[in-house]
Structure 1
Amino acid sequence: MKKLFLLSAVVLGCWTAQAQQLPLISNYLNTAYLFNPAYSGIEGKTEISVLNRRQWTDIQGAPETQFMAFNGNRDDLKFGYSGYAFNDQTDIVARSGFYGSYAWHVKFTDRNSLSLGLGAGYVNNNINVAGIRVPDELDPVLFSALNTGKFDLNFGFNLQFGDFSFGAAVPNLLAPKVDFSDNYLGPMQYHYMRHYVVSTQYDVNLQKGLMTLSPFITVRANEVTNPQVDAGLMFNHKEYFYVGAAYRSSYAVTANTGLHLTEKITLGYAYDFSLNTYGFALGNSHEFMLRYTFGESKKDKRLENEIKKLKDRQRRSSEELEDFLNDRLDEFNDEVSSKQNELFEQEKAELQSQLDEAKAEINSRIKGYSTEQYAGQVKPGSPGYYVTAGVYGQEENAHKLESKLLADGIAVDIFQDQNNMMYYVFILKFPDYDSAHEAQLTKFNGQYNGSLWIKVIK
């Protein structure tokens, strides 16, 4: 009888561990690389994350999970890497291990890419004999080998088309078998099930990328159980906070919230409310996440470098044109005689006018204004009336708009108001308010499609 009791406890523990083969977390949008190695380093950041989850708080021996993970990439953004260690315990059954992943990011264009990732790890499976209760504490079954480890692989990919992404992963790729004691009725064995995780997400950028609204769907499946579908919505204000909610089929409703305490530190919390028949008896689930980001985003840094290169190319083009026209002026000066001075002066004036117009045309496709009014020809932040295309609290967001307008052929520049510390992206500067107001209302005589504001610097 006692042998049957012990065997039942071990079987129950193994069944519970099998049902929890993929640790369940609700912050996976912030740590997608934990289950799909293709996401390793995809954001261009180096970061460390710590997660702690307690599930079904009213049940003794309910699942508890901890993760410690890091994520980063190479400077060229072509390769990413990640790794994590975890501990997942359900009553007397515990699993702990570590995985390392490597990803290859292939860019087709600036907004379209394919990522492939492969992860490898070692997982140790343990049944806590001290938690098994039998009448005879000297029963030899208690001294059986109830601790064993296995090697496994994960594979995944992700396709990025603009703001839309589609990815899939196969955790437990090798599906290894785990053997425990073979005392009495034969070997105690269960095997890892090969899982399939498919996810899709669309990012709606608001306020020129400062905020993002992201609907998402994630489907988990294996060879035995019914597929589980997560469908939700996440809103992220990149400077201050994020908040979201999701429905997890046949399980729970999840609420996510987090604060970007600084540019480098994010604190997140997730709450699961069970919807099944025993939801009120099981209790709810709580999950905490802490993330620290090192340095600047390599994507943002590369964008700043591209802006600098674009400015340098514009400056060189302007200088080359000026040198060319000055050479022509010098040639005319050598060729004309004293009798042609009047004609020379007239042509010189015309060439100078062409030079001024050419400078303006190189610097901007906005035409019809004096050269000294264009961005690049004025001292940013000097007194005057600036017609601006955007204002931001963070300099990197101002540079993003600057890059977009420069690529569209519109010359812009940036200055910071020392009174409110905001960054202004301006197109033209005027000596009086009326001229600036007219340019704003007419949108530079119909040559600009976006919104415009006037910034006054005394």
Structure 2
Amino acid sequence: MKIRITYLFLLLLVFSGTLSAQQFPLTTQYLYNPYALNPAMAGYFNYSEIHLDYRREWTQIDDGPKTVRLNGFGNIYKQKMWLGGEMYMDKTGVFSLFKASVSYSYILQTGDNQRLFFGVWANYFQNSISLSDMTEINPADPLLQGRSSISGSTFNAGFGIDYNWQGLNVGFAMPNAMADNSYDVTNPGSPDFKMQREFLFHASYLFYLVDNWQLQGFAVYRKTKNMPGNFEMSAMAVYMKQAWAGLLYRNTGALAVNIGGYVGYGFALNYSFEFGTGGINKGSGTTHEITLSYRFGQQNRKYFENKNGEYSRSYRRQSIYKPTPQIIDYR
């Protein structure tokens, strides 16, 4: 039998003086779109891109989390400067979160096959609780006062950096760098929404195995003030730089299977299926996420390759498969 969570939000509303705004929706989209993880990495493959994503979590729970996300970026100067943006709407029961952001990033060439990505961005958030959607509550409750919703909005800012050497990436970001900034709540006497500072560390490497096969390893650690850390690790096999499949583990008790590929004409499709192994994820149902992407100017089918053909070979492959001069005896 499915579980209703409306009462949970009612209890939070009544008994909590402050509601945390840090339960931002997770995504597996970054496995092939680095911008979704760290906006400083806009233009990583030197293409302008746009990504439309839908995520449905906890299918065994009525009104479980649903997220619609749109992000993308474009080049504004000589493949060095990139302008990006993101919007998403996340709805869980009576609780809704809207985000809009704009980012600027700069790519600095530091050596042969070495780059540094720098990025800054501004975020706008709006949280709201729909009182009209709550069930079995007393309309005469003084907390309601004839209102249909409680909402609040705030601004924040972030920055990030990433070092790239061929297949290696090591990065750090603060998606929300301003600490403890409260929302501007529209209704006096309502619970406060508050945002905490957030930290993000990530590392990945694209290994070359045999001809036409690569393996991408990824590790991500997130930490929000006053909340436990969140760790993810994944391994994804890539075939001919245009089709991929892999596994992801999250320490909050979730495993994900991820598949995707380049469809053609600039379009790529990615799908992930998650199931719980512990904690609140166990018994709450599965999670489905699907993303449709469009890459401007894609001419070949190698989605996991830089537009100019650079940064696509690992150091190990270059050293092992160095061509050997042939000696021909004409006697």
TM-score, length basis structure 2 = 0.81
Within the candidate set 146, 150, 161, 1:157 is matched to 161
| RMSD of aligned residue pairs (Cα, Å) | 3.1
Determine helix, strand or coil for the equivalent of 1:28: helix
Q: Which moved more, 1:31-40 or 1:158-167?
A: 31-40
For this pair of structures, how many residues does the alignment match? 304
In structure 1, the partner of 2:114 is 112
Distance 1:121 1:277 in 2: 31
C-alpha distance in 1 between matches for 2:15 and 2:112 = 52
- The aligned residue for residue 203 of structure 1 is 206
- Counterpart CA distance in 1 for 2:64 and 2:10 is 21
Give the C-alpha shift of residue 16 in structure 1: 7.5
Post-superposition offset of 1:182: 3.8
Structure 2 counterparts to residues 306-455 of structure 1, below 5 A: 444-445=326-327
- What letter matches 1:151 in structure 2? F
Q: Which structure features the higher share of strand residues? A: 2
Q: What is the alpha-carbon distance in structure 1 between the residues aligned to residue 273 and residue 244 of structure 2? A: 14
Find the aligned partners of 1:39 and 1:174 in 2 and give their Cα distance: 21
Larger Rg: 1
Report if the CA contact (8 A) 1:179-1:188 is conserved: no
Which residue does the alignment assign to 2:254?
252
Structure 1 residues 119 and 297: alpha-carbon distance in aligned structure 2, compared to 1, 3 A threshold: farther
Q: CA deviation at 1:289?
A: 0.7
Q: 2:293 aligns with which of 286, 291, 294?
A: 291
**Range with bigger deviation, 131-140 or 152-161:** 131-140
Q: Hey, what does 1:137 align to over in structure 2?
A: 139
Counterpart position of 2:233: 231
Pick the structure with more helix per residue.
Answer: 1
Q: Percent same amino acid among aligned pairs?
A: 24
CA shift for structure 1 position 94? 0.3
Q: Which residue of 2 aligns with 1:55?
A: 57
2:192 is matched with which residue: 189, 200, 209? Answer: 189
Quote the offset at 1:201 in angstroms.
0.6
Unaligned runs of 5+ in 1: 305-396, 398-403, 411-441, 447-458
Return 277-286 or 166-175, whichever deviates more.
277-286
Distance 1:28 1:38 in 2: 13
Given the alignment of the two structures, is residue 90 of structure 1 paired with residue 101 of structure 2, yes or no?
A: no
TM-score (norm 1): 0.60
**1:87 Cα deviation (Å)?**
0.3
2:78 to 70, 73, 76: 76
Which residue identity does 1:80 align to in structure 2?
Answer: W
Q: Would the aligned equivalents of 1:271 and 1:285 in 2 still touch at CA under 8 Å?
A: yes
Q: Does 1:10 align with 2:46?
A: no
One-letter code of the match for 1:8? L
| Structure 2 alignment gaps of length 5 or more | 1-7, 313-317
Q: Which has the higher contact order (CA 8 A, sep 6+)?
A: 2
Q: CA offsets, 1:403-441, max 9 Å, x none?
A: x9xxx9x9xxxxxxxxxxxxxxxxxxxxxxxxxxxxxxx
